[in-house]
C-alpha cells in the first residue's frame, strides 16, 4: 500500500508541476501532461533503461515526446528523476538537466523548458518535437539505428547495443500523414524494439476528434504489421505495466499501446475539454484540481518528501546498475575488439577515420562530361567504403539519384538483414527525412535522396535537421528545367531560393563532376550542420582544370574559375551548377572580342558567406558593377550578388514539357543570351 501511495504521489507531482508551470507562464498545454502522467511515470519508473548520472550512455533507451505540446510532462519527469546535465563533451556540469527554476520559467527567454522540447537545450531531450508526427517518425530512425549498431558492433557475449525506443503520440500524430508513412516502414522492417504509446483522448484544438477523425486506428496498425494493445484507462497502472511487459517480450513486430485518457481531468465543465488542451486551467481550476488530489491548494511547484527518493530507488537504481554492467562489458569489448571500439568512439564524436577520402575519383576534361548525379554517386561509394556508419537510401529513386551503395558488403537493410547500408524508404519522402534525423541523433551518418522537386515533401524534416544542427546529407537530383519532358510538375524553380532561405543548412550545387567530388569532401567534414547537394540529371561538361581554376575552390562557396588575363575585369559572369560551363563558353567568346571577363562559380551561398570579407571582395570586386547571374531557377535573392546594375538570367515562371535543348533556348539559357546581357551592361557603362 505504501508503494501504491508513493506511485500516486509521484504521478500527482508530475501533474501539479505541469499545471503550475503552465499557469505561471500563462501559456501552454496542461491537459495532456496531467492525463499522461501515469503512463510516463510507469514507463520511466519500471521499464526505461536510462542512467540519470550519464544521460549520454550509448545503450540507453530513448524516450521521444512526439506530442511536443505536452513538453511539461517531459520536463517534470527529467527534473524529478534527477537527470544530470553534461557539456558538449558529455562531462558533468554539476547541475541538473532541468532545474526547478527552469520549470518556473517555462516558455520564458533563456529557460531550458521551451514551449516544445528542443534538442540540445538539456540532456534527456532526445529530439526536437512540436510539428506533429515528426517525433514518431524520428523514433523509427532511432529503432533502425539501434538494430544496425547491434548487427555491426555486437559480438557473442558482448551485446553492446540492445536499446528500445518509446514514443508518446497524440491524436494529432495519428492524423498527420508522416506517422502513417513511418508506421508502414516500421512494420515492414519488423522493428520490435519500437513502442509507440498513443494517447487516445479524442481531443484536438477545435474540439472532439469526431469532427474530422473516425478511422479505426487499431485496425490500421494491425494492417501495418504492428502488435496492438489497448488500455481503457490511463490511470490503470497494472494494465500499463502489463502492456510494457508484452512489448518487451514481442520479438517480431513493433508495438503500439492505445491508451484511453480524459484530457481535462479536474475541469469544472467535463464536456468542454478544449480549453484544458491548449490553455492554462486558470487559478481557480488549479486550486480545485489540487484539492481533488489532496494537495495543498495554494502550494506552487511543490515536490513532496519521498518523491525524488522513490524515483531514485526505481528508475535511478535500475539505470545506474545497467550502465555499470554495460561499462564493464565495454571495457572487455575494447580489449578484444580495439578496432571496432575505436570506430564507436569516432562515430560518437562524429570524427572521420584516417584515409576516409582515399579512393575519391577525379575526372579529366570532357566536353560531353557526365551528370553530377553520376559523379556524386561514384564519390559516395568511395567514401562509404571507408566509413562503415555512413548509410542511407532513396525514396524509391536510388537508380536515378545514383545513391545505391554497390560495393561488396553494403547490402540492403531489411528485416532479415538489419546491418545493411542501403535503406529502401519507398515513396515516403516526408518520413525519409525524419528517419534520417533519427539516425543522425543516434550518431549514424545518414543520407537520403530524391528529386529536388520532391524536397517539398521532405521540407519539415529538413528544417528540423537544421534546427537540431544534425549532419544529415540530402542528395537532390534532377535539379532544373533541364530534366526536360517530365514538365513543370517535376521541374524545380523556386526550390533553391526557398532552401537557401532556411537558416543553418548548406546548399551546394556543383558545376561539374569534379566539383561534385569536392562537395563530398566538404560535406563529410560538417559535424553539426545538414547539407543539401543539388545535382543534375543531364550530362554537363567536365571543365578542363588545367586551363581553369581547380575544383577545390568549391570549399569557399564561390571562386574565380576563369579570369581576365590582366587588369580588373569589365564584366563578371556568376553561375552555379550546369550554367557555369555555359558562362565559360560565353567568357571565351567575349575574350576573343577583347572584353575582359571573369567567371565565378558559386556553388554555395552559405559557404561563401562564411569567408572573410577580403576574400569575398577579391572574388566579386565592389567596383565591378557589370554582372550577369545565370541559374535555371527563380531569380529571387540573386540581387545581392548581381547588384543594382546587374542582370539575372533566371526563371520567372514554371517550366514546360519539352526536350532539354528546346527548354534552354526558350527560357534564355544560351551562350548568345548571356553575351547579349553582358554587352547591354557594358554599353550602359
**Residues recognised as catalytic:** 429
**DSSP E strands: which ranges in 316-466?**
366-370, 390-394, 412-413, 422-424, 445-451
How far apart are alpha carbons 604 and 607 in whole angstroms?
Answer: 5
Q: Are 260 and 234 in contact (CB under 8 A)?
A: yes
Name the nearest CA neighbour of 658 among 667, 650, 670, 671: 667
Cell numbers found for residue 340: 571496432
Residue 214 burial by Cβ neighbours in a 10 Å radius (0-12, 13-18, 19+)? exposed
Contact 634, 497 (CB under 8 A): yes
In sequence order, what are the residues at sequence separation of 6 or more whose Cβ sits closer than 8 angstroms to the Cβ of residue 308?
A: 80, 82
**What cell numbers appear for 405 in the block?**
551503395
Angle between helix axes 134-153 and 455-468 (nearest 10 degrees) is: 70
| In contact, 357 and 381? CB cutoff 8 Å | no
> From CA 391, how far away is CA 382, in angstroms rounded?
13
Q: Is the dihedral of CA 57, 63, 69, 72 positive or negative?
A: negative
CA 61 from chain center: how many Å? 20
CA torsion sign for 100, 125, 200, 197 is negative
The 3-state DSSP class for residue 519 equals helix
Whole-Å CA distances, 654 to 458, 481, 660: 21, 9, 14
Residue 455 neighbours by CB distance under 10 Å: 21
Q: Distance between CA 526 and CA 515 in Å, rounded?
A: 17
H or E element, residue 204: strand 203-204
Whether the Cβ atoms of residue 31 and residue 261 lie closer than 8 Å to each other: no
In whole angstroms, how far apart are CA 306 and each of 171, 293, 313, 504, 579? 34, 17, 10, 44, 69
375: left (phi over 0), alpha (psi -120 to 50) or beta: alpha
* Alpha-carbon distance values, 479 to 12, 632, 669 (Å): 55, 9, 15
Amino acid at each position: 500500500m505504501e508503494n501504491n501511495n508513493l506511485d500516486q504521489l509521484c504521478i500527482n507531482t508530475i501533474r501539479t508541476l505541469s499545471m503550475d508551470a503552465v499557469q505561471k507562464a500563462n501559456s501552454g498545454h496542461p491537459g495532456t501532461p496531467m492525463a499522461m502522467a501515469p503512463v510516463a511515470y510507469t514507463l520511466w519508473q519500471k521499464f526505461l533503461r536510462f542512467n540519470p548520472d550519464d544521460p549520454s550512455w550509448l545503450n540507453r533507451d530513448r524516450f521521444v515526446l512526439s506530442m511536443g505540446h505536452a513538453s511539461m510532462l517531459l520536463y517534470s519527469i527529467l527534473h524529478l528523476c534527477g537527470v544530470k546535465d553534461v557539456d558538449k563533451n558529455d562531462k558533468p556540469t554539476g547541475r541538473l538537466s532541468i532545474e526547478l527554476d527552469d520549470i518556473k520559467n517555462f516558455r520564458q527567454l533563456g529557460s531550458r523548458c521551451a514551449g516544445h522540447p528542443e534538442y540540445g537545450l538539456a540532456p534527456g531531450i532526445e529530439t526536437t518535437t512540436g510539428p506533429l508526427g515528426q517525433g514518431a517518425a524520428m523514433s523509427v530512425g532511432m529503432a533502425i539505428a539501434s538494430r544496425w549498431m547491434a548487427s555491426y558492433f555486437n559480438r557473442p557475449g558482448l551485446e553492446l547495443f540492445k536499446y528500445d525506443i518509446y514514443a508518446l503520440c497524440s491524436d494529432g500524430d495519428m492524423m498527420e500523414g508522416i506517422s502513417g508513412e513511418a508506421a508502414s516502414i516500421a512494420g515492414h522492417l519488423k522493428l520490435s524494439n519500437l513502442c509507440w504509446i498513443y494517447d487516445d483522448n479524442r481531443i484536438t484544438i477545435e474540439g472532439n476528434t469526431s469532427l474530422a477523425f473516425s478511422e479505426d486506428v487499431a485496425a490500421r496498425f494491425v494492417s501495418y504489421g504492428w502488435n496492438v494493445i489497448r488500455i481503457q484507462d490511463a490511470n490503470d497502472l497494472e494494465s500499463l505495466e502489463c502492456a510494457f511487459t508484452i512489448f518487451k517480450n514481442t520479438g517480431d513486430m513493433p508495438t503500439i499501446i492505445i491508451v484511453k485518457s480524459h484530457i481535462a481531468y479536474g475541469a469544472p465543465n467535463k464536456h468542454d475539454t478544449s480549453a484544458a488542451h491548449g490553455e492554462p486551467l486558470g487559478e481557480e481550476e488549479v486550486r480545485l484540481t489540487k484539492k481533488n488530489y489532496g494537495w495543498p491548494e495554494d502550494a506552487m511547484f511543490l515536490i513532496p518528501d519521498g518523491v525524488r527518493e522513490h524515483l531514485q530507488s526505481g528508475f535511478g537504481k535500475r539505470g545506474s546498475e545497467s550502465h555499470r554492467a554495460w561499462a564493464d562489458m565495454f571495457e572487455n569489448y575494447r580489449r578484444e575488439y580495439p578496432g571496432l571500439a575505436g570506430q564507436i568512439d569516432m562515430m560518437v564524436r562524429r570524427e572521420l577515420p584516417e584515409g576516409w577520402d582515399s579512393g575519391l575519383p577525379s575526372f579529366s576534361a570532357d566536353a560531353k562530361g557526365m551528370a553530377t548525379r553520376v559523379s556524386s554517386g561514384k564519390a559516395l561509394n568511395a567514401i562509404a567504403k571507408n566509413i562503415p556508419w555512413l548509410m542511407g537510401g532513396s525514396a524509391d529513386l536510388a537508380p536515378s539519384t545514383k545513391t545505391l551503395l554497390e560495393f561488396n558488403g553494403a547490402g540492403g537493410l531489411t528485416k532479415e538483414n538489419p546491418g545493411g547500408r542501403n535503406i529502401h524508404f519507398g515513396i515516403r519522402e516526408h518520413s525519409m527525412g525524419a528517419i534520417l534525423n533519427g539516425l543522425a541523433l543516434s550518431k549514424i551518418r545518414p543520407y537520403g535522396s530524391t528529386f529536388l522537386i520532391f524536397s517539398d515533401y521532405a521540407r519539415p524534416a529538413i528544417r528540423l535537421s537544421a534546427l537540431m544542427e544534425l549532419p544529415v546529407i540530402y542528395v537532390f537530383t534532377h535539379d532544373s528545367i533541364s530534366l526536360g519532358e517530365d514538365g513543370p510538375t517535376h521541374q524545380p524553380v523556386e526550390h533553391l531560393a526557398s532552401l537557401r532561405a532556411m537558416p543553418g543548412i548548406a546548399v551546394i550545387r556543383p558545376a561539374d563532376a569534379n566539383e561534385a567530388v569536392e562537395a563530398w569532401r566538404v560535406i563529410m567534414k560538417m559535424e553539426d550542420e545538414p547539407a543539401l547537394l543539388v545535382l543534375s540529371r543531364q550530362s554537363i561538361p567536365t571543365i578542363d582544370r588545367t586551363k581553369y581554376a581547380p575544383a577545390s575552390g568549391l570549399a569557399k562557396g564561390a571562386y574565380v574559375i576563369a579570369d581576365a588575363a590582366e587588369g580588373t575585369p569589365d564584366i563578371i559572369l556568376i553561375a552555379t551548377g550546369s550554367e557555369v560551363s555555359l558562362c565559360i563558353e560565353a567568357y571565351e567568346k567575349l575574350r576573343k572580342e577583347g572584353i575582359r571577363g571573369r567567371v565565378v562559380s558559386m556553388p554555395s551561398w552559405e559557404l561563401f558567406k562564411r569567408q572573410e570579407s577580403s576574400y569575398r571582395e577579391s572574388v566579386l570586386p565592389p567596383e565591378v558593377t557589370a554582372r550577369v547571374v545565370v541559374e535555371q531557377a527563380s531569380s529571387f535573392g540573386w540581387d545581392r550578388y548581381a547588384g543594382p546594375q546587374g542582370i539575372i538570367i533566371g526563371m520567372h515562371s514554371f517550366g514546360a514539357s519539352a526536350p532539354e535543348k528546346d527548354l534552354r533556348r526558350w527560357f534564355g539559357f544560351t551562350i548568345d543570351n548571356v553575351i547579349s546581357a553582358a554587352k547591354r551592361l557594358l554599353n550602359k557603362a
